[in-house]
Amino acid sequence: MTGEVFMFARGLRLTIAVLIPVIVITACSLPLVSETEIEDESKAQFDQMRNSMPVSTDATINAYVNCVARAIIAELDDYYAGKDWEIVVFDDDAVNAFAMPGGKIGVFTGILKVAENQDQLGAVLGHEVAHVTEQHSVERVNREMTTQIGVIGASAVIGGPTGTGDLISMGAQLGLSLPYGRKQESEADIVGLDYMADAGFDPRASVQLWKNMDKQSKLGPPEFLSTHPSSDTRIDDLISNLPEALGRYNEARASGKNPRCTR
Ligand SMILES: [Zn+2]
């Protein structure tokens, strides 16, 4: 779960096609894109989404999503917990959710049909937030830029009219639009499992969530899976990490973390 901005997936394919050649030509002279720069771009994109898409005004649904998201955020280390987290429920049937650097979370009402209860939604948001805390968008864009530098070689750099600031901004946009890699997905699964368990959500629900997600992807456009490629071993990997996660979950419950997020 964004540098994924799932919702942008369709529109951004075109953007990527336009951006990559520009970055290929000029990447050698660029500093790498920092987390702060990605955060700034995220905020701008998030505001744009909020202003251009229907936002749910259903108080019950908003309270439910906020309840789960805040419980997860409370388990992050101080640096990430202290971000200015904003949680928006988009009134859209797409099966999608995302978290962006800087603390932006978007949940589409469509995913609430696949994530059937607070524990499954905790699995979705734990996974999404883990992409942020593991800095996957930053990794993605910088790996892309570095790869391009390697391909071209320093001698082939051609200066263009575009300023460095613009290129960093474009690089950040690119980082936010690329699907995650399989390794990043595995990392987000495992770290996300810890977050949900620490928050008092039953980590076993993650297995059912991904089974639901697989079933859903056979029924319609797999928006979520297009930016979160699933490995064949995802469910097996989650199961093999359950004993540790259940230990964390039991500790969390014993310490009074017993979220009751209802819709
Ligand atoms: Zn993911």
* Active-site annotation, residues: 128
The model's confidence at residue 128, banded by pLDDT at 50, 70 and 90, is very high
Q: Given this model, what pLDDT does residue 228 score?
A: 79
Q: Given this model, what pLDDT does residue 10 score?
A: 38
Closest CA to 245 of 200, 214, 187, 183: 200
Average pLDDT, the chain: 83
Compute the distance between CA of residue 125 and CA of residue 138 in angstroms, rounded to an integer. 19
The model's confidence at residue 157, banded by pLDDT at 50, 70 and 90, is very low
- Residue 209 pLDDT > 70: yes
CA 190–ligand 1 middle distance (angstroms):
11
CA 141–ligand 1 middle distance (angstroms):
16
Q: What is this structure's pTM?
A: 0.82
Closest CA to 29 of 171, 174, 178: 171
Q: Given this model, what pLDDT does residue 149 score?
A: 55
3-state secondary structure at position 3? coil
Tokens 């200015």, residue located: 84
CA 185–ligand 1 middle distance (angstroms):
5
CA 110–ligand 1 middle distance (angstroms):
17
CA 14–ligand 1 middle distance (angstroms):
22
Mean pLDDT of 189-195: 97
The model's confidence at residue 22, banded by pLDDT at 50, 70 and 90, is very low
Largest CA distance in the chain: 61
Residue type, 112: L
pLDDT digits (tens, 9 = 90+) for 91-104: 999 999 999 999 99
Give one word for 200, left, alpha or beta, with left for phi > 0 and alpha for psi -120 to 50: left
Running DSSP on this structure, what letter comes out for residue 101? Answer: T
CA 156–ligand 1 middle distance (angstroms):
35
Compute the distance between CA of residue 54 and CA of residue 56 in angstroms, rounded to an integer. 7
